[in-house]
Chains A and B, each alone.
Chain A
Amino acid sequence: MSDVKYIKFNFDVSAYRLLGRELITDRITALFEIVKNAYDANANEVEIEFIKVSPKSNESKIIIKDDGIGMKLSDIQSKWMVIGTSSKRRERVSPAPYNRKVVGKKGIGRFAVDLLGSKLTLKTKKKGEEEWIFLETDWSYYSKLETSQLELPFDKKKEFFTDIENKYWFSKGAKNGHGTVLEIEDVNDEWTELDIKRAHKELSKLVSPSSQIPHKHPFKITIKSDFPGAEKIDVKPLSVIEYATVSIDIKYDDVSGKQEIIQYENGELIKKEVSSRAFGPVNFKLYYFNQGAKRKFKEKSHLEIDGIKIYRDGIITTPFAETEANIEKQKDILGVDKRRYSGFFERINSRDLLGFIELTDEKNPRIIEATNRQDFIDNKEWRELKLFIIEHIQQIEKYLKHQRESIRNVTKSDLGRADAELKSIKKTLANVKKDATPEVKAQLRHIEADLGKLQGTVNKSMRDYAKLEEDSKQKENLYFSLVSLQTYASMFSHMTKHTIGHVLRDAEYFSKHFPNKKLNQRFQTISTRIYNEFIALRTGVDFMLKYAQSDNEIEDINLYDLLDNLFFNIYDDVFKKEAISASLEIKNNLILSYNKKALEDVFDNLISNSIKALNNVKDKKIKCSGIVDKNELILYFSDNGIGISEEDKYRIFDIFFTKTADQGGAGIGLYMVKTRIEAMHGTIDVIDNEFKPTGATFKITLPFKK
């Protein structure tokens, strides 16, 4: 060992540490950043060793050792000791022959060390150098100074951070040796066996399974610890995806400039080519696991199936380093699990999916990790990318739904076939019996009796199956109304809050200022408003009650009769009074199998909505027409009222959105229309108005069950 010398940091350490705490919020992210630095330094191997970290002792240590290019003393002086070294931002590839795409950013890896423990001995050497360089930094000393600097009195002469001497010395080493060793002492937190296992799980996601790390220049991560069974763990990228139930592998073609996507069509997932989207080209592997597949995967890999991660140049983007062990509490950065309505039963979530989005620094520059490494910067490109991912999950959902349905159909037709075959056997048997000897006849009678029992069983199965299907359909409807009720409840409390606020402040204003002749106009407004607010509140409560009482009985309904009754019976008086000419152009042989009350509600609401829209219009018209298209019934509901402005089209179905508050509108009608139709698995949209110059046309599509 050579003589000890001293070196000073070239920046305010207090700012550096403050920044570090903002940038690296947890220790898994800290490990990630240090390992990424090793990758950028062309290391073939990184070893993370935990010594006496549980329970935390005075001798606790974390040693992170790599065989990368290492540093010279001049590197330490000009890079390590200087904040915000920009070399990483300038050079996008690591030195030849590795030429790795640099994955660490802004030189924040160094901050990570401080988060892990308070004392660091850095040991480093470049190939060909005679000596290893040792540098010792005691962060706790800086902490003390940081506290004292904030103490009064200010005028007392105190040391600056840049005055502090950090020890360094040299020690002989083999000429060929190279790399960097970070020996962290005084480890901040206890690391239990579980923590280390989690570090393993997370680090195994660091390198993308489809990453092209060449064999010549491998990148291996090893974790060592004192825990039995975890003395030496080789961290390997995920590779056990052969068990997936559905696999999607789409690429971007550099030559044609086309992006592959997957779309569900006629029972299959089909690959298509489109132009690349705003976020730039991506490669995307997505795997769906059903229950059985999940079990096999877990047995084989001991890893969790935990959703879709984003990789850049083969290395995971830090927002996906999970410090949270509980899967339920983990970040849902992509919003996969937040989706609510996209097919309640077909919906799959992060626990069923493994996915790898591959980006590059060069071609997806607008997908940017937030500085605190916990999320991405919210911009148009990031939102598009999230959408792209969700769209693909939806395609899988459609595919799975189709599969489930076709399995159901196969079961049904198998049962039907069994029934037919049994009948035919019986017939043959009857024929054989005619010519048989008495002994054989006796035998055949037994067989006949058995066949009869068998047929009974098959028939019962068919009936049971039909009943089961009906049950599940009813359950489905119930769930739908529950889900929409949940939304309704949250919207309702929101609306109630507003109503309370209005009425409260109005009453307050009144009691504070009344009487005052000058304010009479306002008092007038207040009383009307309180009245209207309460009417709206009452409608909301009534609707909630209606929901509570609604039955889920499904029956065959003749649509023409239903509409005819509404148009020319129930609303007849109103139409006459308002001078509205109503017309119905619909075949009278369409039988729908839905809940009658729900269907009536839909049209009841559409009609009363139209009546309001026709308030000040001459020559009033309401028209409903329908066409049958394959398995769908398409209905057009039009009026020539004031119409819907472009800006309102997207929110017309929102609950409590109303433009007719002065006519007692509470903004519930169209919301209910939409939820009812969605519960029937149909859709409703505002389309170009049929009547010109003004008016509104709704297009309603209902799956047609013949």
Chain B
Amino acid sequence: MDIQILIIEDDPKLEDDSLIWELKDKFGEKNVRFIPSPKEGLNFINENLHINIVVLLDIDFPANEMDGHQVLAEIRKMSHLIPIILWSGVNENEESFSDFINNHAFGFISKTATSEEALKIINKAILHLESSIDNSIEDWIIDNDEDKDKPIYFTGDGRSYSLNQILNEIRHQTEVGKSFATKLNKLTIDLLLRNKENLND
């Protein structure tokens, strides 16, 4: 599974931080991207919804830019699949944290954290991505290329979607994509409950 680690952070000093080196060593130079402007960060996400992204997001930005709270909310408008880890030196109070929770921030890394501490949370986020529905579908397609164009989902208004198309719908968080994901989960539970299928370890 390919992963892009996107760091949205306005302090240029951090672009060459040891943590970034560790990330580049681990995930490859081209898979770690440092973007200093929140707006450009959002553009990048918007254009790359089809790939797996983990975001490391600073909270404090210059006054004329969006701050971390707003960026988080903007990303959530686009997708609920992207794990967003806040990376900040600010001591946030409870009140301002509540919107981080409401917008499902994945975790929090302090600017004083060691690389090891930071990597723990980033790895968790990646694990979270790996076990998501869209990535399971993608893995399936990689293993069984012949299945990718088979129609597997039919909507009430007569449209049909292939496995590949449905993957795209989920990643772009369209209504069809979201509804498919919910139904798929329900179906699985239903099958398990009615003993139609067994999940074995």
Contacts and interface: CB of A to CB of B under 8 A. Distances in A.
B13 A522 contact: no
A509 B24 CA distance: 13
Given A494-B89, A502-B13, A154 B193 contact: yes
Interface string A505-549: 110110000000000001001100000000000000000000000
A651 interface: yes
Contacts of A651: 62-63
A501 B112 contact: yes
Nearest to A500: B112
A508 B115 contact: yes
Contacts of B161: none
Contact of B18 (A497, A500, A508): A508
Contacts of A254: none
Counting chain B residues whose Cβ lies within 8 A of the other chain, the interface size class is 20 to 34
A155 interface: yes
Nearest to B189: A154
B62 A504 contact: no
A155 B192 CA distance: 12
B62 A650 contact: yes
Contacts, number: 49
A363 interface: no
Interface string A389-429: 00000000000000000000000000000000000000000
A99 B79 CA distance: 44
A25 to B, nearest CB: 12
A570 interface: no
A498 interface: yes
B114 A504 contact: yes
A497 B91 CA distance: 11
A508 B116 contact: yes
A390 B11 CA distance: 31
Contact of A650 (B18, B64, B111, B115): B64
Contacts of A526: 18
A12 to B, nearest CB: 16
Contacts of B21: 509, 522
A378 B11 CA distance: 26
Interface string B55-79: 0000010111000001000000000
A83 to B, nearest CB: 20
Contacts of A650: 62-64
Interface string B13-37: 1001111011000000000000000
Nearest to B118: A505
Nearest to B63: A650
Interface in B127-174: none
B16 A497 contact: no
B89 A661 contact: no
Greatest chain A CB density within 10 A among B18, B19, B90, B193 is at B18
B90 A494 contact: yes
A501 B116 contact: no
Contacts of A661: 13
B43 interface: no
Closest 8 CB pairs of A and B: A509-B18, A497-B89, A505-B18, A501-B111, A501-B112, A500-B112, A505-B115, A508-B114
Given A501-B110, A505-B115, A509-B21, 6 more contacts: A154-B193, A501-B89, A502-B18, A504-B114, A505-B17, A522-B21
18 contacts: A154-B193, A494-B60, A494-B89, A494-B90, A497-B111, A498-B89, A501-B113, A502-B13, A502-B18, A508-B18, A508-B114, A508-B115, A509-B18, A509-B22, A525-B16, A650-B64, A651-B62, A651-B63
Interface of A: 154-155, 378, 494, 497-498, 500-502, 504-506, 508-509, 522, 525-526, 650-651, 654, 661
